[in-house]
Amino acid sequence: DVKVTQSSRYLVKRTGEKVFLECVQDMDHENMFWYRQDPGLGLRLIYFSYDVKMKEKGDIPEGYSVSREKKERFSLILESASTNQTSMYLCASRGGGSNQPQHFGDGTRLSIL
Protein backbone atom coordinates (compact mmCIF):
# COMPACT_ATOMS: atom_id res chain seq x y z
CA ASP A 1 0.00 0.00 0.00
CA VAL A 2 1.05 3.56 -0.67
CA LYS A 3 2.11 5.42 2.45
CA VAL A 4 2.00 9.21 2.53
CA THR A 5 3.24 10.58 5.82
CA GLN A 6 2.73 14.13 7.05
CA SER A 7 5.09 15.12 9.83
CA SER A 8 2.53 16.62 12.20
CA ARG A 9 -1.17 15.95 12.84
CA TYR A 10 -1.63 19.19 14.78
CA LEU A 11 0.43 22.35 14.75
CA VAL A 12 -0.01 25.72 16.47
CA LYS A 13 2.05 28.71 15.32
CA ARG A 14 1.98 32.47 15.73
CA THR A 15 1.27 35.16 13.19
CA GLY A 16 4.41 36.11 11.28
CA GLU A 17 6.26 32.85 11.91
CA LYS A 18 7.77 30.83 9.08
CA VAL A 19 6.07 27.45 9.05
CA PHE A 20 7.20 24.24 7.38
CA LEU A 21 4.84 21.35 6.66
CA GLU A 22 6.58 18.17 5.57
CA CYS A 23 5.28 15.28 3.49
CA VAL A 24 7.03 12.03 2.58
CA GLN A 25 5.86 9.22 0.30
CA ASP A 26 7.37 5.78 -0.04
CA MET A 27 6.25 4.74 -3.53
CA ASP A 28 8.72 6.61 -5.74
CA HIS A 29 5.85 8.72 -7.10
CA GLU A 30 6.68 11.50 -9.53
CA ASN A 31 3.78 13.74 -8.62
CA MET A 32 3.07 15.33 -5.25
CA PHE A 33 0.42 17.84 -4.19
CA TRP A 34 -0.50 20.18 -1.37
CA TYR A 35 -4.13 21.07 -0.66
CA ARG A 36 -5.93 22.98 2.00
CA GLN A 37 -9.38 21.97 3.17
CA ASP A 38 -11.88 24.41 4.61
CA PRO A 39 -15.52 23.81 5.58
CA GLY A 40 -17.88 24.34 2.66
CA LEU A 41 -15.01 24.90 0.21
CA GLY A 42 -13.79 21.34 -0.25
CA LEU A 43 -10.17 20.83 -1.22
CA ARG A 44 -8.24 23.54 -2.99
CA LEU A 45 -4.89 22.93 -4.64
CA ILE A 46 -2.04 25.13 -3.41
CA TYR A 47 0.96 23.77 -5.31
CA PHE A 48 2.02 20.60 -7.02
CA SER A 49 5.26 19.07 -8.25
CA TYR A 50 5.74 16.61 -11.08
CA ASP A 51 9.45 16.00 -10.55
CA VAL A 52 12.34 16.86 -8.29
CA LYS A 53 12.94 20.62 -8.19
CA MET A 54 9.87 21.19 -10.38
CA LYS A 55 6.79 22.96 -9.08
CA GLU A 56 3.64 24.53 -10.42
CA LYS A 57 1.11 26.83 -8.83
CA GLY A 58 -2.29 25.48 -8.06
CA ASP A 59 -5.45 27.48 -7.54
CA ILE A 60 -4.46 29.34 -4.35
CA PRO A 61 -0.65 29.71 -4.16
CA GLU A 62 -0.57 33.16 -2.57
CA GLY A 63 1.23 33.20 0.76
CA TYR A 64 2.79 29.78 0.19
CA SER A 65 5.91 28.31 -1.37
CA VAL A 66 7.12 24.72 -1.80
CA SER A 67 10.32 22.76 -1.99
CA ARG A 68 11.07 19.42 -3.62
CA GLU A 69 14.74 18.62 -3.26
CA LYS A 70 14.23 14.85 -3.14
CA LYS A 71 11.66 12.75 -4.94
CA GLU A 72 10.09 11.37 -1.78
CA ARG A 73 9.69 14.69 0.07
CA PHE A 74 7.52 17.70 -0.68
CA SER A 75 7.52 20.62 1.74
CA LEU A 76 4.97 23.41 2.04
CA ILE A 77 6.25 26.70 3.44
CA LEU A 78 4.26 29.56 4.90
CA GLU A 79 6.74 32.41 4.67
CA SER A 80 4.94 34.62 7.17
CA ALA A 81 1.94 32.87 8.67
CA SER A 82 -1.36 34.69 8.93
CA THR A 83 -4.58 33.80 10.72
CA ASN A 84 -6.39 33.17 7.43
CA GLN A 85 -4.01 30.27 6.84
CA THR A 86 -5.54 28.36 9.73
CA SER A 87 -6.78 25.23 7.98
CA MET A 88 -6.41 21.51 7.41
CA TYR A 89 -3.52 20.80 5.02
CA LEU A 90 -3.46 17.62 3.00
CA CYS A 91 -0.56 16.17 1.04
CA ALA A 92 -1.03 13.67 -1.79
CA SER A 93 1.15 11.72 -4.18
CA ARG A 94 0.49 10.03 -7.48
CA GLY A 95 2.44 7.78 -9.79
CA GLY A 96 2.88 8.35 -13.50
CA GLY A 97 0.18 7.35 -15.96
CA SER A 98 -3.24 8.89 -16.46
CA ASN A 99 -5.06 6.14 -14.56
CA GLN A 100 -3.18 6.55 -11.29
CA PRO A 101 -5.20 7.97 -8.39
CA GLN A 102 -3.89 10.38 -5.79
CA HIS A 103 -3.09 8.95 -2.37
CA PHE A 104 -3.44 11.19 0.66
CA GLY A 105 -1.73 11.61 4.00
CA ASP A 106 -3.70 12.00 7.24
CA GLY A 107 -3.54 15.79 7.15
CA THR A 108 -2.05 18.50 9.36
CA ARG A 109 -4.45 20.74 11.24
CA LEU A 110 -2.65 24.07 11.46
CA SER A 111 -3.76 26.87 13.75
CA ILE A 112 -2.24 30.32 13.44
CA LEU A 113 -2.78 32.48 16.53
Partner 1 sequence: GEDVEQSLFLSVREGDSSVINCTYTDSSSTYLYWYKQEPGAGLQLLTYIFSNMDMKQDQRLTVLLNKKDKHLSLRIADTQTGDSAIYFCAEVPSNDYKLSFGAGTTVTVRA
Q: Which of 41, 94, 74, 58 is nearest to 66 (CA)?
A: 74
Binding flag, residue 40, partner 1 (CB under 8 A)? yes
Binding flag, residue 45, partner 1 (CB under 8 A)? yes
Instruction: Give residues 50-69 in contact with partner 1 (rule: CB under 8 A).
Output: 50, 58
CB 87 within 8 A of CB 37: yes
For residue 41, the 8-state DSSP code is T
Cβ distance to partner 1 smaller for residue 85 or 102:
102
For 53, how many CA atoms within 13 A lie in the half-sphere containing its CB?
A: 0
Q: Provide the binding-site residues for partner 1, judged by CB under 8 A.
A: 4, 6, 31, 33, 40-45, 48, 50, 58, 90, 92, 94, 98-99, 101-107, 109
